[in-house]
Amino acid sequence: MKNDSDNVEPLLREIPARSKRLVMDWSLVLASQGIESTITRGENWTLLVEERDHEQALAAIEQFQKENRGWNWRRKLPGTGLIFHWGSLAPCILFVAFFILSERPGSVLKSVGVMDSQAVSGGQWWRLFTAISLHGDAAHLIANATTGLLLFGMAMARYGAGVGLFATYLAGAGGNLAGSVMYPQTHRGLGASGMVMGALGLLAVEGIAAWRTHGATHLIRRGAAAAILVLVLMGFSEGTDVIAHVGGFFFGAILGVFCHFAPKKFRGTTANSIAVLILTAATILTWYMAFNSGLKKF
């Protein structure tokens, strides 16, 4: 026997907005917090949320307004319906800076920071992370920076700037770990390709959000199929580190699933701020350890 309460529709509350663009932005903010909303238009644009989510929705929107009084880092990609976060410029600029420094005469960046499976097995775990910042030549850098700009931007828009970028960073290190373990002989590698593929892995499980809300399993299949196709086209080209690419994609997908099913607080503003701090600290710490180890060696 069904309880009558099962047939009662949830009470909805309205959140009015000044414009279509604003209500769309707010809807994305709420989606990032796991709050379901519906956009309606009568005399004004309005968001409808369940009564139980109303206070949390208002708090999320208020925080969004505070953080975006200046230029909005989240933008729509024209003609795609996808959202892009321009904060992805930051890691790409960092890659360029490291490349310039590594090409200077006498630079030891590559010698102390490259992923060397023998050194990693000997305890120099930080090379799994430092190798992400380094590139072999200009073509390698340009390929990763341009592709990364797009994929990082979409992952950051979906999961939050801090959480999304930190997840791709961890996925990149995971890809390097896979290469360190699985190659039969001593392996050396460098580059942000694993991190880029990690962002692709995060986006591959994008459909889980739709499945949780609407039960649309076909979206999961389509998203995963499209991402795997891109992985094959980009990650299996001649001369690339295939294991690092596939490993980065795999770890990115795992982290994407975790982010989707984690409590809402792990996708909030505080979590994103903490993720940025941890990412910054991890970058500084791993390079400090690389240089410290290199000075002892030389």
Mean pLDDT, rounded, for 181-189: 85
Tell me, yes or no, if the pTM score tops 0.95: no
* Residue 254 tokens, joined: 């795992």
Determine the pLDDT at residue 41: 83
Q: Which domains are assigned to the chain?
A: 4-72 (3.30.2130.10), 83-297 (1.20.1540.10)
Determine the pLDDT at residue 128: 96
Whether 134 and 190 have beta carbons less than 8 Å apart is answered as yes
* Higher per-residue pLDDT: 208 or 191: 191
pLDDT confidence band for 185 (50 / 70 / 90): confident
Helices (H) and strands (E) in the chain, counts: 13, 7
Q: How far apart are CA 32 and CA 25, in angstroms?
A: 11
* Residue 97 tokens, joined: 């800076």
In tens, the pLDDT along 134-163 reads 999 999 999 899 999 989 998 998 888 999
Highest mean pLDDT among 107-116, 183-192, 289-298: 107-116
Determine the pLDDT at residue 115: 94
The end-to-end CA distance of the chain, in Å, is 78
In tens, the pLDDT along 195-209 reads 999 998 998 887 555
In tens, the pLDDT along 84-112 reads 888 999 999 999 999 999 999 989 999 99
* Higher per-residue pLDDT: 31 or 105: 105
- 100-131: string of b/e by CB count within 10 Å (b at 16+)? eebeeeeeebbebbbbbbebbeeebebbbbbb
